Structure 1
Amino acid sequence: MDLILWRHAEAEDQREGLEDLERALTARGEKQAARVAAWLDRLLPEGARILCSPARRCDQTARALGRKFKVRPELGPAADVPGILEAAQWPSARQPVVVVGHQPVLGEVVAQLLGMDSGTCQVRKGTAWWLRTRERDGHQQTVVVAVQSPDAT
């Protein structure tokens, strides 16, 4: 299974009177989302499932891909690793799954799946981590297929 973890692009700062879920992408964030979306669109098969946090900044990031996606409340800012893996049906989903969400939980998913000792991995704004599960010698492994930064596209 392929799991693509895509952190939302740069969003406006929190300010009084603005709910966290309503924070929008900045102009820079819109460009970041468009660059990574173009990269993903070239590589993702048509049957890929795209799941998104209900936060406006995640919705805007996912919309840059130009494909249908499903908003999942359990992928919001308070998401946890088990919830993300369950929503993505890791590791048994038949098609690739893209999860558009938040740090630090996306970094925690990366760290857990790759067996990192630190418990978390830094995932920069707008960056997509493409992970794949495979079986080798009777053991399930997770490998990094690609990491795409919005600054590198």
Structure 2
Amino acid sequence: MSENDKTLTIGLLRHAHAGWSLPGQRDFDRTLNAEGRAEAQRLAARLADHAFRPSHVYCSPAARCVETFELVRSALPANAEIIFHPPLYSSSSDTYLDLLDTHAGPGSAASAILLIGHNPMIGETAEALFSRDDTSARQALETGFPTAGLLLAACPLSATGIRGTATLSAFLTPSNS
């Protein structure tokens, strides 16, 4: 395979269903509720059947994302580099896309990367990955990006960035997990 044929597999995971904030609790500290823990466990079981092996996992440090990560961790490579990345909590989808772009350049050693974050940023990032003509990706995303949803996409390595270059590989959701 030539350098030009290499791809980066991208996983975008929205945290599982979280409970409402308790009085005086910060949004950042919201944890998963029973439904969310069940969603994440179903997703982990399904993810174990896929060949997705990220070398890097970037996770928002918000409690619900960390808890989601912990519940799917067993389905991820033990040697994956785990980075709790504060900008994934409150920054725009441009931050998510810029982070992906750092791993999509021709010299990148990563072949797969996982971002665990929040909506609307995860959904906006997913939409930006695909060309407007990609009807399968558009159909997969037409009802939104559900909690505990995991989108897998392949992007060619490119010095010009990943926006509009992805091919949908899979979209695992709680309803199909």
- For the superposition of Structure 1 and Structure 2, which TM-score range results when normalised by the shorter chain? 0.7 to 0.9
Do residues 12 (structure 1) and 28 (structure 2) align? no
**Do the aligned residues in 2 keep the contact of 1:49 with 1:95 (CA within 8 Å)?**
no
- SS, match of residue 86 in structure 1: helix
Which residue does the alignment assign to 2:85?
72
| CA offsets 1:43-84 (integer angstroms, 9 cap, x no match) | 2455531110011000000111225632100111x2212211
Which protein is bigger by CA-based radius of gyration? Answer: 2
Task: Normalising by structure 1, report the TM-score.
Answer: 0.84
In the other structure, the counterpart of 1:112 is 128
Name the stretch that deviates more: 126-135 or 5-14: 126-135
- Count of residue pairs brought into register by the alignment: 147
Percent identity reads 24
Whether 1:152 and 2:176 are equivalent positions in the alignment is yes
* Cα-Cα RMSD: 2.4
Say whether residues 1:63 and 2:70 are aligned partners: yes
TM-score of the pair, normalised by structure 2: 0.73
SS at match of 1:115: coil
Q: Verify: 1:126 aligned to 2:148, yes or no.
A: yes
Residue in 2 aligned with 1:99?
Answer: 115
Give structure 1 stretches of 5+ with no counterpart.
Answer: none
Runs of 4+ aligned structure 1 residues displaced above 4 Å come to: 44-47
Q: CA contact under 8 A between 2:53 and 2:112: conserved in structure 1?
A: no
